[in-house]
């Protein structure tokens, strides 16, 4: 029998390959595989469903992630997927598989983190289960949200002249991860070493305790702005732009000097001799929002704090271009943070 290595596909290629033969049969299924969340249709109410499977050693490292932070983050990244559809998260289910290494107190910490996130975002825990695991911790979370008729935002709605916007800053979570990885190695070599985290609280927080951009969704709503396309930035700006451009059938031009970067991330990148632009483009886990708006919303967006206009959509034949500080054009590569790697 033929054997094709899974690495021959990217994550998205693989999920497309595996699911392309499935047909949609039910009238309540409005949108299936291919966006941040699926959309279900019940008279005047749209229901959003997103799910995540997180495995120890692949998606998180308990050497430097406290269990409470892990619980918080695991919940929040699912909320982020619902906000990325312009919806509001309402319920989650949490299932965990745990090896004998974990105590009830460990699980209490994990659930304390989940609870904190649920309270902050107004989400109900409605189900899940616990089972044994042979190795480490496995976490499965499903989040259900609600959206208004006509206001759900997909990845495929961008037009060729739309503005490209991102929230917050990019690359910080990735630089936070690099810092944690470095301190882990230092600690491994000398277990009396104390981690050097001074003045790095922001990038650590972006990595260990990210927030979903509920505030931005509310702000857009107050200002009467409905993005033409949107997704959250979990795999890096390049990869996410590629999704939106492919699904919307557009190209894009993004200006390097417009990409919002945090000062702490810049310092960390310099210290590690890394490119902060590469971190912003290809680092993962920022959980900021990437969205496009129609040109006529320019004034409203330009005056909104926390949102940066980083470029604009183009005709598809122009491709995906990054315009450097000297005006040079570089084709964007989606090297996104790929957990199949």
Residues 82-121 that bind a second copy (CB under 8 A): 90-91, 93, 95-98, 100, 102-105, 107-108, 111, 115, 118
Edge-to-edge strands of the sheet including 251-255? 229-233, 288-293, 163-167, 307-314, 251-255, 320-323, 329-331
Residue 44 sits in the site that holds a second copy (CB under 8 A): yes
Residue 333 sits in the site that holds a second copy (CB under 8 A): no
| Nearest CB to a second copy, comparing residues 95 and 294 | 95
| Nearest CB to a second copy, comparing residues 135 and 333 | 135
- Measured distance CA(145)–CA(193) in Å, rounded: 44
| Nearest CB to a second copy, comparing residues 33 and 193 | 33
* DSSP 8-state secondary structure symbol assigned to residue 209: S
Pick the closest to residue 38 from 92, 87, 99, 95 (CA basis): 87
Total chain residues near a second copy (CB under 8 A): 83
Three-state SS for 256-297 is HHHCCCCHHHHHHHHHCCCCHHHHHHHCCCCCEEEEEECHHH
Q: Which two tokens stand for residue 12?
A: 């998205």
| Nearest CB to a second copy, comparing residues 118 and 307 | 118
Cβ–Cβ under 8 Å, residues 75 and 126: no
Site for a second copy in 128-157 (CB under 8 A): 128-136, 138, 140, 142, 144, 146
Residue 178 sits in the site that holds a second copy (CB under 8 A): no
Site for a second copy in 239-268 (CB under 8 A): none
Residue 124 sits in the site that holds a second copy (CB under 8 A): yes
Binding residue for a second copy, selected from 126, 193, 295, 302, defined by CB under 8 A? 126
**Beta carbon of residue 3, minimum distance to a second copy (angstroms, whole number):** 4
| Nearest CB to a second copy, comparing residues 117 and 165 | 117
**Beta carbon of residue 211, minimum distance to a second copy (angstroms, whole number):** 19
Q: Which residues pair with 313 in a beta bridge?
A: 252
Pick the closest to residue 106 from 142, 151, 59, 56 (CA basis): 56
Q: Which two tokens stand for residue 113?
A: 């983190």
| Nearest CB to a second copy, comparing residues 79 and 262 | 79
Cβ–Cβ under 8 Å, residues 42 and 107: no
Residues whose CB is less than 8 angstroms from the CB of residue 25 and which lie 6 or more positions away in sequence, other chains included: none
Please identify, among the stretches 56-64, 166-174, 266-274, 283-291, the one whose residues bind a second copy according to the rule CB under 8 A. Answer: 56-64
**Beta carbon of residue 13, minimum distance to a second copy (angstroms, whole number):** 10
Residue 49 sits in the site that holds a second copy (CB under 8 A): yes
Site for a second copy in 277-316 (CB under 8 A): none
- Measured distance CA(275)–CA(192) in Å, rounded: 31
Q: Which two tokens stand for residue 289?
A: 């929002």
| Nearest CB to a second copy, comparing residues 71 and 168 | 71
Q: Three-class SS of residue 324? A: coil
Residue 66 sits in the site that holds a second copy (CB under 8 A): no
**Residue whose structure tokens are 């309270």:** 119
> Pattern of binders to a second copy over 2-31, x per CB under 8 A?
xxxxx-xx-x--xx-xxx-xxxxxx-xx-x
Binding residue for a second copy, selected from 188, 199, 324, 341, defined by CB under 8 A? 341
């Amino acid at each position: 029998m033929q054997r094709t290595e899974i690495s021959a596909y990217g994550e998205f290629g693989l999920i497309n390959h595996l699911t392309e033969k499935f047909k949609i049969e039910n009238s309540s299924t409005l949108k299936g595989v291919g966006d941040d969340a699926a959309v279900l249709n019940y008279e005047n109410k749209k229901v959003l469903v997103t799910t995540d499977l997180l495995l120890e050693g692949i998606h998180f490292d308990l050497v430097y992630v406290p269990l409470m932070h892990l619980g918080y983050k695991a919940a929040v990244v699912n909320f982020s997927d619902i906000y990325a559809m312009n919806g509001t998260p309402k319920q989650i289910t949490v299932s965990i598989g745990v090896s004998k290494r974990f105590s009830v107190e460990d699980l209490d910490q994990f659930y304390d983190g989940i609870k904190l996130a649920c309270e902050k975002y107004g989400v109900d825990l409605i189900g899940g289960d616990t089972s044994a695991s042979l190795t480490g911790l496995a976490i499965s979370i499903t989040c259900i949200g609600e959206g208004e008729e006509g206001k759900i935002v997909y990845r495929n709605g961008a037009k060729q002249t739309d503005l490209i916007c991102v929230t917050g800053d990019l690359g910080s979570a990735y630089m936070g991860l690099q810092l944690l990885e470095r301190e882990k190695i230092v600690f491994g070599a000398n277990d009396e070493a104390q981690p050097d985290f001074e003045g790095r609280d922001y990038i650590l927080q972006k990595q260990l305790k990210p927030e979903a951009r509920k505030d931005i969704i509310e702000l857009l709503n107050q200002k009467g702005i409905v993005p033409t396309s949107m997704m959250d930035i979990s795999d890096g700006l390049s990869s996410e732009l590629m999704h939106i451009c492919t699904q919307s059938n557009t190209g894009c031009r993004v200006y390097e000097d417009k990409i919002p970067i945090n000062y702490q991330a810049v310092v960390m990148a310099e210290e590690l001799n890394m490119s902060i632009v590469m971190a912003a483009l290809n680092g993962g886990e920022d959980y900021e929002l990437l969205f496009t708006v129609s040109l006529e919303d320019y004034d409203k967006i330009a005056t909104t704090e926390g949102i940066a206009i980083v470029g604009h959509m183009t005709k598809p034949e122009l491709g995906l271009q990054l315009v450097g500080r000297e005006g040079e054009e570089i084709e964007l590569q989606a090297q996104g943070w790929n957990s199949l790697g």
